[in-house]
Structure 1
Amino acid sequence: MNYQTLLQFRQQGLQRLMKHRFSWLIGVATLPFLGVLTAVAVAPGAAQQAPLEVREVSQSLALPALPGGESDGSRYWREERIQRGDTIARVLNRLGVGSDEANRFIHTAPVSRDVLKLRAGATLSVQINDQGELFGLRFLNDDENGEKVLVVIEKQGDQWQASAEPPRTEVIQAVRSIEIRTSLSGALAQAGVPVEVRTQLGEIFSDQLDTTRLQPGDRVNLVYETLLYKGSPIANGNVLAAEVQSGGKTWQAFYFAHDSESGAYYDAAGQSLRKGFSNQPVSNARISSGFGMRFHPVLRSLRMHEGIDYAAGSGTPIMATSDGVIDTIASQSGYGNVVIIKHNAKLSTLYAHMSRFEPKLTRGSKVSAGQVIGYVGSTGRSTGPHLHMEVRVNGQAVDPSTNALPVPGLSTQQRLAFRQQSVKLAANLKLLREIPVSVAQLE
């Protein structure tokens, strides 16, 4: 190797670097971030035959002190998805809450340890400051009755308090426009569509088309309700409007509330999209409490009511809404005396708070639509005699009034109200349809 040429190249390069002010400044500015500077010295004028003396000099350079930001006392919310095996302490630490602060909360929180056992897939929201001090938590949890409970714990001075009053919430319209690239389920999940809305979508159009067979290039547009608590989504309500475009055809559905507790889906002309079951579970009874978020009168907390309640006197016969097989007939702490009927591979119905079961019925018994399976009561967690009914699709609770019960036709006055409402929702669908690319959410 020609070391003389190498030496000249290094010397010329250093001279150019010294003359080029900008390059020199960059070199100097970089030194503090390198931490360790290594220099290689080459003796000038060394003969080619002489061995090249190489000396390595290492020196540690202290990094400049960064100015510490002073806290302005601001608090902010952070959210974390609960993973399998998580504990409340582990999640709090992951969100920036110090171990000591997390342990103090766990030992002084005014709720039971069972409530603090988070379920995988749930979202924990915590309010902290820059120092990792904890001021509040909120999350949805499940109880033994299958209902989702909103747990709100806040720090008042030096004490922790659990909310005992109905929290103030607001409902907004969330929209999604999804273009299918592989499968509908994958596209909906990638767009952040909640699982309950995905299930509801398949049931809305189940009498018109099989949404699981939609192909790449097909499109789905959705408008649905999202329930916010202090600006954060905690639950989802009804799908207000849905549109499926496939093979040059378009299907539309619009939700219409018959009253404050029930509703159904109709096409743009006001015709029902679902036939529903042929029977009501209780004859001539009104729905006293509908599907969705509500304030629980016994537990004094906001809960997700995953069924509907029928107001009926104790002893009123309860009938199977459709043919099926008894899957469960037992007494449970929340539901009381409960019967679950499996109607097909994906659909089941649940009937709770019965005073007693119809004699001779056991698990595996076949029942027909209209057959008496039990009698109205107030067993379990109940404020009085009534029937609590749920409809589940692949284990996911859906609104019975829109997915299983007989759908009434619209009166003249209802048709006018439906027309006014559906025109506004159709405008939202048109906006989504004209967007040239898929969007995850517009709010």
Structure 2
Amino acid sequence: MTQDPIIINAPASKSLSHRTLIAAALANGVSEISSALRSDDITRTRDCLTACGASIEEKGDLLVVTGMEDGPKGGNADGKHKDEAPHELFMHESGTTCRLMTGVAAAGKGTFRVHGAERMHERPMAELVSALSGLGTKFAFEGKEGFLPFVMTANGYRKKSAEITLEESSQYLSGLLLGAPLADHEITISVTGKKAVSWPYVALTLRIMEDFKAEFEVEVKEGRVWKTVPWRSVKNATPGKIRFIVKPTGYDATGYRVEGDWSNASYFLAAGAVGKRPVLIKGLAADSLQGDRAIMDILSQMGASIKVTFEGILVEPSRLRGIQVDMGRCPDLVPTVAAVAAFASTPTTIGNVAHLRLKETDRLAACATEVARTQCETETTSDSLIVRPARLPRGHAVSFKTYNDHRMAMSMSLFQLAGLDVTLDNPACVGKSFPGFWDEWKKITG
């Protein structure tokens, strides 16, 4: 007889919560946002938006956002108070907040001091700084050039075009796109470089811009001719062959509900595949634009039984095999897949993920080190991770390092389902994206 599934409610999407709150804060008027994620990273974005002039009030499940008048304002925004201190934009360890809000604040007026926790000061920002400098923003670095902390003097996007690469992060482009509707003229943003990573996150940005009535066009190059295409038809960004024309429309206030988060649901979907009981996850959109919806395809390729039902996504325990998979479009899933790979019968190779070395930690090296604690063999190259499974040591106590990285903590917890006695050096770090994780995880572990 089939066991009843464990029922899990997916938390709200972190990526969409950031973008929705930013669009609402840049709009004229009042927006009511329901189901937005409450987490450390979202708090950082909310604090930055209120520092720039928005108002965000909690009313039960709703966040009531009153938009900024005339865009973000920093210290000395009107030019009259020369000695006024810059507005503080503190990012802590939220890379998303940092990339998006730096682009958005640069579209405003005034001075902003952008800084964060120690790890945030090690993460590169030179590409975005270069693009914003070309649009007229001035930067004064307090330490190493191209890195936080710095003071940014903004006077809006003054030029009509910008170039950005997506080699390190798609968030640079998303920050520019979110800021561009505030300009007083049309702006063309071109993608350059050798390769582009994490395109689905750009699609999420475009979706929020469209839903909040910011107007734009996407053009792709066919031969020597630029041709306008429906943005939803774009599946990846080829450098030199895609550009965005953003109109000076601003944003309209709107009511908005944030959908469930495929990244944070991935641990529970994986638990259904590697554990003893089926898991049903509610609140996910099966047709979502989120790149991490790929977890369904990846687990299916590994042999997992996955069904999309009217109630939610049902995953049933299965015998898994290793695969070769390109995860350039869904890097946040790598810790989950690395852990699942240890339960498989054959090796798994995760490729095209060099940009993982620039996350909260060097996530590629961290995954290799921590999964190897389970007696599996692991190996990294410059852009890939190989997991060669071994018999998991049921009943053994294994202490995992989290590196203060929420995704490491949640993914290594999957080894509890192999009968390992798992301890983590910092279980509280899940608060960055999923404060309620341990309450939900207890449903899985009983």
TM-score exceeds 0.5: no
TM-score normalised according to structure 2 size? 0.22
Q: Which has the greater radius of gyration?
A: 1
The structure whose residues are more often strand, as a share, is 1
